[in-house]
Amino acid sequence: MLATGTALGGTLLAGGVPGQATAATAPDALAGTEPTAPADPWRTVLDDADLVWQQMPKTWYEGPYLGNGFLGSGIYAEPGAETKAIRFNIQHSEVQDHRPQFGSLFGLARLPIGYFTLETVGTVTGLDWRLGLRDAELTGTLTTDKGTLELRALVHNSRSVLAVEVVPSEGERGFRWAFHPAQALSPRAAFRPLPAGYESNPPAETGEYDGISAAVQPLLAGGQHVTAWRERTRGEARTLYVHVAHSFPDTSARDRALRAVRNASELPYDLLAAPHRAWWNAYYRKSFLSLPDARIQRFYWIQLYKLASAARRDAPVMATCGPWLEPTPWPATWWNLNVQLEYWPIHGSNHLELDAVTRALSEYRDNLTAEMAPAYRMDSLGIPRTTDIHLVNGGATSNAEGYGVGIPGQDPPTPEVGNLAWALHNVWLSYRHTMDESILRDVLFPLLRKAVNYYLHFLEPGTDGKLHLPATFSPEYGGNSRDCNYDLMLLRWGCRTLLDSAELLGAEDELAPRWQEVLAKLTPYPVDANGYMIGADIPFAKSHRHYSHLLAVYPLYEVTGRTPDEKALIEKSLAHWVGFEGALQGYTFTGAASMSALLGKGEDALTYLGQLMTRFVQANTMYKESGPVIETPLSAAQSLHDMICQSWGGIVRVFPALPAAWADLVVHDFRTQGAFLLSAVREDGATRWVRLTSEAGAPCVVRHGIAGDIEVRDGRGRGLRYEDVADGTIRIALQKGESALITAKGDRPELRIEPVQPIATAPRWGLPA
């Protein structure tokens, strides 16, 4: 295995002990070798993944982006003044309106804030920028016919301050910054008619406050958001400091914004940047992945950068644009696919610190109660298709009563009732990947109990003796159907999960017999000659981007191809779904890739990812449909996870769906269900070694993929007992904190984590020359 670039080595895992890899200085007790000045594999892959710009980006889809889950800035040429000004957008995930009477897409919508322009003296003739992932920092040079501007920029990890340092040459010393407040109006207004009575918020008021500028945006509903900024000159460098604060219903945002800028601007750029860089450097080291496709490897690390730029546990659940609000018909948080896909990669990549979904569903559960029709609020919960950051919909666009979750069989036009159950599947994944019982006990079980209970109000026996659902809506596919697969699949998963959870928690629940009855009597999923239908009344018969009718296959893994007939049904349904061109979009191909990975079809999975990359992913790895959305590239990172490791059903599957071209691959501290950390190396098309560390002492069953006889040893090199299960699967008794190393019998590999050699060169992401 060879390193890329100039790195000549990797990180040796000293003593064979699993855990966070570091540049080891001790000999490896298993391999009997001692590393000599090992290179830093994280630095190698991250520096290789940096995005570069040697052409001027003209849109959000082309330019650099910075963020910390709250404050976000997308950077590109000012439209209409491409050779004279660069736009630094200023947007914030907490800034929204507060008029629920107009619904989530107008009255509670994310609100645009504005942007700064860096206005040059001369005409721009070139640029050379690099977005350094390792430090989450934009650096480079802007060249004009009058001189140059050396630039460094970041959105500070903890201070939520945009800092832009510019060092101009003599001819560009007269460059200037200008702030342009945006109209505080829902971005949806550019795409849809305004609701009756809806009007824009008043203009922002700009003023000076003891040397700091601020644009104060009052809101008609009360409260405000404030953009404060200050420029400081130190030697040849001029540094702009910007902060955004939001408050409702009070008007405290102005003082908080001024204070944040005042404090940050006391620090020169490098002092401000030091803790920011340290946080990002540590962030990436929680896991490692290297594969021989250079373009995809770079794409993967960029998605990890994008995740931490857009998500934090204490930040709002990501809206469709993340913190980088642009003109969009979707200025809210979407719960019928977007949220779920956005957060899937946090589990395998070992970044549960980004899990805002579990936190928000728990914190705002009372708001979910209010989204139910009054008759169901005592014992049921649901989440509408769209909400604000507090999980409020407003409901004005759905019905006169002001609730957002439809009633099966009654509530026109689209009773979409499965969204909460699907969101709670993400919470279940967080539990399974950590085995943190508090997630199960305090969040998943009580919320899922009420989400399932809503269905139970409407289940009725048919003449066939089966339980049936009245008409509900499968996301985005026109028409309502009885026995909608979206809901049947989530209901079955929900009942099974509740029974398992009650057993784990030692809870005797009075509803358990009802959940068991549902599992025993729920009508089978409707199918026809083409595979899974939308529901009993609606076949799948047109091009459709969403896989709402296939959730039992992925991501629920309720239908996995255990039998030849089941496998054939999955294959037929998948082929039929993607066989209709016209309405397919990017996440169609990430879903198809993950379903192919379930079936062990690595070549197909790679083909689908290739379709995504060539047809939909933009220059900076962002994605667009009618407007900017960020879930699809993030879900592509999860598709890669599914090719590299799957852990559904209590079995850790190592390298289950790799294409033949990926003969070498390295993964380290990949987090699996059961709270195991997986490290594994593939060389010349064969798995060389697999190592698992148990964080919770959960049952350890692993399909290792090593041919022939094997050995299993602990962290000290001593033999461990194991039990053969079947098909290259073994069961190992691991206690909390213990590890197991699996190798071919007699093999003593170096446990070295290092980048693999790329198959071929590939252009960098961004806009290289």
The per-residue pLDDT for range 652-671, each reduced to its tens digit, is 999 999 999 999 999 999 99
Q: Are 51 and 61 in contact (CB under 8 A)?
A: no
22 and 147 in a single domain? The answer is: no
pLDDT band at 479 (very low <50, low <70, confident <90, very high): confident
Q: How far apart are CA 632 and CA 584, in angstroms?
A: 12
How many independent structural domains does the chain possess? 2
Which pLDDT value is given to residue 506?
97
Domain assignment of residue 182, yes or no: yes
Q: Is the pLDDT of residue 315 over 70?
A: yes
26 and 174 in a single domain? The answer is: no
Q: Is the pLDDT of residue 35 over 60?
A: no
159 and 204 in a single domain? The answer is: yes
111 and 21 in a single domain? The answer is: no
Q: Is the pLDDT of residue 15 over 90?
A: no
Domain assignment of residue 260, yes or no: yes
Q: Is the pLDDT of residue 19 over 70?
A: no
Q: What are phi and psi of 83, to 5 degrees?
A: -100, 5
Which pLDDT value is given to residue 544?
85
Question: Structural domain of residue 698, as residue ranges?
Answer: 11-45+652-753
Instruction: Show Cβ contacts of residue 632 under 8 Å, excluding neighbours closer than 6 positions.
Output: 341, 585, 586, 587, 590, 612, 616, 617, 623
Which pLDDT value is given to residue 411?
79
**In this predicted structure, which of 23-37, 414-428, 519-533, 569-583 has the lowest mean pLDDT?**
23-37
When pLDDT is averaged across residues 466-481 and rounded to a whole number, the result is: 94
When pLDDT is averaged across residues 426-447 and rounded to a whole number, the result is: 98
**In this predicted structure, which of 35-39, 129-133, 165-169, 520-524 has the lowest mean pLDDT?**
35-39
Q: Is the pLDDT of residue 34 over 90?
A: no
**pLDDT tens figures, 76-125:** 999 999 999 999 999 999 999 999 999 999 999 999 999 999 999 999 99
- For residue 441, the 8-state DSSP code is I
Whether the ω angle into residue 413 lies within 30 degrees of 0, i.e. cis, is yes
31 and 125 in a single domain? The answer is: no
CATH of the domain at 119: 2.70.98.50
Token readout for 688 is: 């060389």
Closest CA to 561 of 574, 578, 547, 576: 574
167 and 112 in a single domain? The answer is: yes
Checking phi first, is residue 73 left (phi over 0); if not, alpha (psi -120 to 50) or beta?
beta
Q: How far apart are CA 241 and CA 514, in angstroms?
A: 59
Distance of CA 610 to the CA centre of its chain: 20
Which pLDDT value is given to residue 11?
54
pLDDT band at 582 (very low <50, low <70, confident <90, very high): confident
Closest CA to 246 of 272, 264, 228, 265: 228
The interaxial angle of helices 41-49 and 269-284, nearest 10 deg, is 110
CATH of the domain at 681: 2.60.40.1180
23 and 91 in a single domain? The answer is: no
pLDDT band at 4 (very low <50, low <70, confident <90, very high): very low
**Single residue among 284, 319, 343 that ends a domain in this structure:** 284
Which pLDDT value is given to residue 23?
33
C-alpha to C-alpha distances, 524 to 82, 315, 488, 658, nearest whole angstrom: 58, 40, 8, 33
Q: Is the pLDDT of residue 609 over 80?
A: yes
**Single residue among 238, 253, 284 that ends a domain in this structure:** 284
Q: How far apart are CA 707 and CA 720, in angstroms?
A: 19
Q: Are 744 and 709 in contact (CB under 8 A)?
A: yes
Which pLDDT value is given to residue 583?
83
Using DSSP, state whether 186 is helix, strand or coil: coil
Token readout for 57 is: 């980006």
The interaxial angle of helices 602-615 and 586-598, nearest 10 deg, is 170
706 and 740 in a single domain? The answer is: yes
Domain assignment of residue 582, yes or no: no
State what percent of residues in the chain have pLDDT above 90. Answer: 89
Q: How far apart are CA 162 and CA 242, in angstroms?
A: 5
Q: Are 572 and 609 in contact (CB under 8 A)?
A: no
pLDDT band at 30 (very low <50, low <70, confident <90, very high): very low
Domain assignment of residue 485, yes or no: no
Q: Are 755 and 11 in contact (CB under 8 A)?
A: no
Q: CB pairs under 8 A, 24+ apart, for 19-27?
A: 19/669, 19/677, 19/693, 20/285, 20/286, 20/669, 21/285, 21/288, 21/668, 21/669, 21/679, 21/753
pLDDT band at 17 (very low <50, low <70, confident <90, very high): very low
Domain assignment of residue 24, yes or no: yes
Q: Is the pLDDT of residue 29 over 50?
A: no
104 and 159 in a single domain? The answer is: yes
Q: Is the pLDDT of residue 22 over 60?
A: no
Which pLDDT value is given to residue 401?
54
Q: How far apart are CA 324 and CA 71, in angstroms?
A: 8
C-alpha to C-alpha distances, 326 to 68, 83, 113, 183, nearest whole angstrom: 17, 22, 10, 13
Which pLDDT value is given to residue 727?
84
25 and 64 in a single domain? The answer is: no
Q: How far apart are CA 717 and CA 697, in angstroms?
A: 20
Mean pLDDT of the chain: 93
134 and 26 in a single domain? The answer is: no
Instruction: Show Cβ contacts of residue 471 under 8 Å, excluding neighbours closer than 6 positions.
Output: 408, 409, 415, 480, 481, 482, 484, 535, 537
59 and 197 in a single domain? The answer is: yes
Domain assignment of residue 446, yes or no: no
Question: Exposed/middle/buried for 80, CB within 10 Å: 0-12, 13-18, 19+?
Answer: exposed
Cα dihedral: 415, 420, 425, 426 (round 10)? 120
Helices (H), 460-563: 485-505, 512-521
Q: Is the pLDDT of residue 432 over 90?
A: yes
Q: How far apart are CA 424 and CA 241, in angstroms?
A: 39
Closest CA to 425 of 648, 670, 750: 648
Query: What single-letter amino acid sits at 740?
Result: A
Q: Are 111 and 105 in contact (CB under 8 A)?
A: no
When pLDDT is averaged across residues 374-383 and rounded to a whole number, the result is: 96
pLDDT band at 402 (very low <50, low <70, confident <90, very high): low
Q: Is the pLDDT of residue 278 over 80?
A: yes
Q: What are phi and psi of 117, to 5 degrees?
A: -115, 130
Domain assignment of residue 400, yes or no: no
Q: Is the pLDDT of residue 31 over 80?
A: no
Closest CA to 106 of 389, 383, 393, 347: 393
Domain assignment of residue 272, yes or no: yes
- Please compute, for residue 216, the number of CA atoms within 13 A of its CA located in the half-sphere on the CB side: 17
pLDDT band at 752 (very low <50, low <70, confident <90, very high): very high
Q: Is the pLDDT of residue 206 over 60?
A: yes
Q: How far apart are CA 655 and CA 474, in angstroms?
A: 33
Helices (H), 253-349: 253-265, 269-284, 294-310, 338-343, 345-348
When pLDDT is averaged across residues 374-393 and rounded to a whole number, the result is: 96
Which pLDDT value is given to residue 412?
77
Which pLDDT value is given to residue 345?
98
**Single residue among 284, 319, 352 that ends a domain in this structure:** 284
Q: How far apart are CA 572 and CA 591, in angstroms?
A: 15
